[in-house]
């Protein structure tokens, strides 16, 4: 198992990681947390080289994807950079990329009751006003879990706060900061239930955020 002690904070700059092979030629990955090498609870950065494909496979407890660059595809369509996908428990597909792409992928982390299939091209969705100068784009909510994009204007600071049910962040652009460190684009941060921090930015920064989904014991 890798990074599955949810009582501990994990910070990984994926830019500093090496790509590892997968069962499919041309598909490489950087594991951030995983239960087993090819099954179970998994979070990874995944790259498809041009022309790479993966054989049809099932998602026993769902699959969540954010396309970081390039165009990701399956038999249902093409998903450009900025696309957010949720394939519910029990779904299956045969993904590929004609010209190559990079993805943030979470596997087998859904509630069995979360059966909504989601496709959002965030390039075409409006931002909503959040607290202070923040702009927010809600992507999905189910029970206590909430997923959103948050855009921070340059110089923005947020009040210290706690994370009920934890918080998970992938920095998409800019540099996210708090009193503990500085986190460039492609940094992944997982903070446990009731953890606290004082976040801020110096340059415009966009983050993908998930809250309320981690164990509270």
Q: Are 211 and 149 in contact (CB under 8 A)?
A: no
- What is the pTM assigned to this prediction? 0.96
Decide if 10-120 and 126-211 have a common fold: yes
The gap between the terminal CA atoms of the chain, to the nearest Å, is 20
pLDDT per position in the chain (217 positions), as tens?
999 999 999 999 999 999 999 989 999 999 999 998 777 899 999 999 999 999 888 888 999 999 999 999 999 999 999 999 999 999 999 999 999 999 999 999 999 899 999 999 999 999 999 999 999 999 999 999 999 999 999 999 998 889 999 999 999 999 999 999 999 999 999 999 999 999 999 999 999 999 999 988 7
3-state secondary structure of 116: coil
| β-pair type (175-178, 145-152) | unpaired
CA distance 150 to 208: 7
Domain ranges of the chain: 10-120, 126-211
CATH number attached to the domain at 126-211: 2.60.120.10
CATH number of the structural domain 10-120: 2.60.120.10
């Amino acid at each position: 198992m890798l990074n599955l002690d949810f009582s501990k904070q994990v910070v990984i700059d994926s830019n500093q990681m090496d790509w590892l092979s997968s069962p499919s030629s041309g598909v490489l990955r950087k594991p951030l947390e995983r239960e087993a090498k090819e099954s179970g609870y998994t979070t990874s950065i995944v790259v498809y080289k041009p022309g790479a494909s993966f054989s049809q496979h099932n998602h026993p407890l769902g699959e969540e994807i954010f396309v970081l660059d390039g165009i990701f595809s399956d038999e249902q369509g093409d998903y450009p950079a900025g696309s957010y996908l949720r394939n519910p428990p029990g779904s299956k597909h045969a993904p590929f990329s004609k010209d190559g792409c990079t993805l943030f992928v979470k596997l087998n982390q859904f509630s069995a009751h979360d059966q909504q299939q989601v496709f959002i091209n965030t390039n075409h969705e409006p931002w909503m006003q959040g607290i202070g100068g923040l702009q927010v784009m809600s992507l999905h909510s189910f029970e206590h879990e909430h997923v959103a994009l948050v855009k921070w204007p340059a110089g923005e600071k947020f009040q210290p706060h706690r994370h009920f049910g934890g918080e998970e962040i992938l920095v998409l652009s800019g540099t996210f900061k708090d009193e503990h460190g500085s986190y460039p684009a492609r940094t992944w941060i997982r903070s446990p239930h009731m953890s606290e921090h004082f976040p801020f930015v110096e340059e415009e920064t966009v983050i993908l955020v998930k809250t309320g989904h981690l164990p509270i014991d």
